[in-house]
Amino acid sequence: MKVGEEYMLVECRDAPNAGKGLFATHSIPPNATLFIIPATAMMNSRTLSATYPPLQGQYLSPTQVISLHLLLHKPHDGGESHDSRFGSYISTLPRDFDSHPLTWSVNKHLQTNSNPKAQELLGHLPPSVSSSLQALTARFWEDWDAVRKYVTALPMICDSSSRQDIDVDRFRLGDSALTTDYVWAWLNVNTRCIYYRLDPSVSSPLNMTLCPILDFANHAPTATHIKPVLPLDSELWAAPTGPRKHTKRLGGDYAFTSNCETTIPPDTELFLRYGSHPNRKLFVEYGFTNTWHEGDLQRGRCDGEVDVQDIVEEHFKAKGPIADTMRRILDEEGYWGDWTMHASPPAHPSYRLITALRLLHCKDDDVQHDRVGHWKAVVLGEQAIISQEHEQAWRNTLLKICETLIERANSNIVGLNERTLRPEHGLPDWYEWMLGNVRRLWLEELEVASCVAQSVQSGVEF
Ligand SMILES: C[S@@+](CC[C@H](N)C(=O)[O-])C[C@H]1O[C@@H](n2cnc3c(N)ncnc32)[C@H](O)[C@@H]1O
């Protein structure tokens, strides 16, 4: 297999405002194979399974086992990792995640290592971003608890560590320094793992891996230059007759080809589209947001999305005791939460949000006595609307939601701008950049809400 540098069409270089990135070293013709990563060079639940045996029949999850391995072989300060197997790969990973919101959130909990500027930014996140960050933080603590219990029960795992400062007591106690190291390990997994077929079931949570070289690719919202070549189902299963049996290609070498129809010139940065994620998810999971310019969202040049859960919940609460019944109905029908608004023309609320607002404006007495058949008929598409008055009522509430968002975004943008105008000494080097990301999250709220308000006022039918 040709995996040497001379066969590679890409290399890692500094990328402006994004750490490292993957760049073309030569002209790359359409569909060319960019590089192939051998199965044994990837870190995943299969390549680590021999080192981390199951505990009471239960393996650690892929995130837990990969992050535990990184933790046990974390390089010391500016040095190299001493892991005999994956050390040279681990040494290429980012050395810190100080700018990542999960680091700020865990540090707040630990009440240590807290950078005051990080804590300040944490207090200025839009509510939907804060709640996504809380959910991510909860996932982090769950994994850390599971890893600590695992190592405490199997102390010989510590013997495999290439670090001098690892012992089982540190896992038992979960000291702050080890927890901080685990944040580093966990964030490497969360920001760098990709889909990789290890299990016959396409949607199995086992299907993920850390993959050298590919993991230098930064995200672009529109184009993806890189196409992972997953073995086709027909190649995975050799079962013309008899029971299905998978071949050894499951979990095989991983090839990446150019996804471009034209030749890529040398020195071009190659991007990988991580998914069609809204900015709040990119910010919370990966620590950055897509850049866009004023008016881009309104013109549909890029997606603008706002989650309005907290404001809509306030509207339900304001209904008094009937709110609980409304929530139960929405839960039963699968429409509670995940309420969003979008700037793509014509700017609009999501169908889920419309459905919730329609119930909010049903008569309390009808809700109380389970007489919401007309609302259900609209949900099922059997009837277009409940009545013209009812439509007007929820549209008015939608307008109020937009006004709340606009007011809140404006005051936060003013607050953040004041911070920029008061330059301070000794700021962390990532501060300005993350301040820009947080400002962009608020600007998105402002622009989406303004566009949706315009749609409501001009009578757009959703
Ligand atoms: C898979 S890694 C990509 C390589 C990474 N830039 C590095 O230096 O190793 C994902 C991380 O890269 C950064 N990143 C990716 N795409 C970005 C973008 N479009 N803008 C800014 N940062 C980006 C984020 O920090 C993200 O968590």
* ipTM for this model: 0.99
Whether the per-residue pLDDT at 421 is higher than 90: the answer is no
Mean pLDDT of 52-73: 97
Residues of the chain with pLDDT > 70, as a percent, come to 94
Region at 267 (left for phi over 0; alpha for psi -120 to 50; beta for the rest): left
User: How far, in Å, from the CA of 433 to the mean position of ligand 1?
Assistant: 13
Query: Ligand 1 within 6 A of 18 CB?
Result: yes
User: How far, in Å, from the CA of 286 to the mean position of ligand 1?
Assistant: 7
Query: Ligand 1 within 6 A of 35 CB?
Result: no
* 383-407 tens-digit pLDDT: 999 999 999 999 999 999 999 999 9
Query: Ligand 1 within 6 A of 271 CB?
Result: no
Whether the per-residue pLDDT at 239 is higher than 50: the answer is no
Query: Ligand 1 within 6 A of 19 CB?
Result: yes
The residue among 210, 205, 194 whose CA lies nearest residue 274 is: 194
Q: What is the pLDDT of residue 293?
A: 86
Mean pLDDT of 30-44: 94
Q: What is the pLDDT of residue 235?
A: 53
Indicate the top mutation candidate among 93, 209, 218 to test ligand 1's pocket, ranked by most ligand atoms within 8 A of CB.
Answer: 218
Contacts of 183 (CB under 8 A, 6+ apart): 97, 102, 103, 106, 140
Mean pLDDT of 287-316: 92
Query: Ligand 1 within 6 A of 337 CB?
Result: no
Look at 36 and 420; give whichever has higher pLDDT.
36
User: How far, in Å, from the CA of 279 to the mean position of ligand 1?
Assistant: 14
Query: Ligand 1 within 6 A of 191 CB?
Result: yes
* 95-130 tens-digit pLDDT: 999 999 999 999 999 987 678 889 999 999 999 999
User: How far, in Å, from the CA of 366 to the mean position of ligand 1?
Assistant: 51
- Fold classification of 5-42+211-286 is Beta-clip-like (2.170.270)
Q: What is the pLDDT of residue 238?
A: 47
Query: Hey, whose CA ends up nearest to atom 10 of ligand 1?
Result: 191
Domain boundaries in the chain?
5-42+211-286, 62-192, 305-457
Distance CA 102, CA 108 (A): 10
Query: Hey, whose CA ends up nearest to atom 21 of ligand 1?
Result: 18
Q: What is the pLDDT of residue 35?
A: 92
Indicate the top mutation candidate among 288, 292, 433 to test ligand 1's pocket, ranked by most ligand atoms within 8 A of CB.
Answer: 288
Ligand 1 closest atom vs CA 290: 19
Query: Ligand 1 within 6 A of 436 CB?
Result: no
* 323-367 tens-digit pLDDT: 999 999 999 999 999 999 999 999 999 999 999 999 999 999 999
The residue among 104, 71, 101 whose CA lies nearest residue 86 is: 71
The residue among 204, 169, 209, 167 whose CA lies nearest residue 188 is: 209
34-38, 107-111, 294-298: which has the minimum mean pLDDT? 294-298
User: How far, in Å, from the CA of 188 to the mean position of ligand 1?
Assistant: 11
User: How far, in Å, from the CA of 224 to the mean position of ligand 1?
Assistant: 14
108-117, 137-146, 246-255: which has the minimum mean pLDDT? 246-255
User: How far, in Å, from the CA of 230 to the mean position of ligand 1?
Assistant: 23
Mean pLDDT of 240-246: 49
Query: Hey, whose CA ends up nearest to atom 27 of ligand 1?
Result: 286
Q: What is the pLDDT of residue 266?
A: 95
User: How far, in Å, from the CA of 14 to the mean position of ligand 1?
Assistant: 11
140-144, 226-230, 245-249: which has the minimum mean pLDDT? 245-249
Query: Hey, whose CA ends up nearest to atom 23 of ligand 1?
Result: 18
Query: Ligand 1 within 6 A of 218 CB?
Result: yes
Mean pLDDT of 48-72: 97
Q: Count other Cβ atoms within 10 Å, centred on residue 454.
A: 14
Has this prediction a pTM greater than 0.90? Answer: yes
Query: Ligand 1 within 6 A of 192 CB?
Result: yes
Q: Which of 128-142, 192-206, 220-234, 246-260 has the highest mean pLDDT?
A: 128-142
Query: Ligand 1 within 6 A of 212 CB?
Result: no
Q: What is the pLDDT of residue 112?
A: 75
Indicate the top mutation candidate among 191, 193, 211, 273 to test ligand 1's pocket, ranked by most ligand atoms within 8 A of CB.
Answer: 191
Strands 208-210 and 43-44: antiparallel
* 75-93 tens-digit pLDDT: 998 899 999 999 999 999 9
Query: Ligand 1 within 6 A of 286 CB?
Result: yes
Ligand 1 closest atom vs CA 99: 25
Indicate the top mutation candidate among 219, 282, 283, 434 to test ligand 1's pocket, ranked by most ligand atoms within 8 A of CB.
Answer: 219
3-state secondary structure the chain: CCCCHHHCCEEEEECCCCCEEEEECCCECCCCEEEEECHHHCEECCCCCCCCCCECCECCCHHHHHHHHHHHCCCCCCCCCCCCCCHHHHCCCCCCCCCCHHHHHHHHHHCCCCCHHHHHHHCCCCHHHHHHHHHHHHHHHHHHHHHHHHHHHCHHHHHHCCCCCCCHHHHHHCCHHHHHHHHHHHHHHHHHCEECCCCCCCCCCCCEEECCCHHHCECCCCCCCEEEECCCHHHHECCCCCCCCECCCCCCCEEEEECCCCCECCCCEEECCCCCCCHHHHHHHHCCCCCCCCCCCCCCCCCCEEECHHHHHHHHHCCCCHHHHHHHHHHHHCCCCCCEEECCCCCEECHHHHHHHHHHCCCHHHHHCCCCHHHHHHHCCCCCCCCHHHHHHHHHHHHHHHHHHHHHHHHHHHHHHHHHHCCCCCCCCCHHHHHHHHHHHHHHHHHHHHHHHHHHHCCCCC
Query: Ligand 1 within 6 A of 269 CB?
Result: no
Query: Confidence class of residue 231 from pLDDT cuts 50, 70 and 90?
Result: low
Q: What is the mean pLDDT of the chain?
A: 92
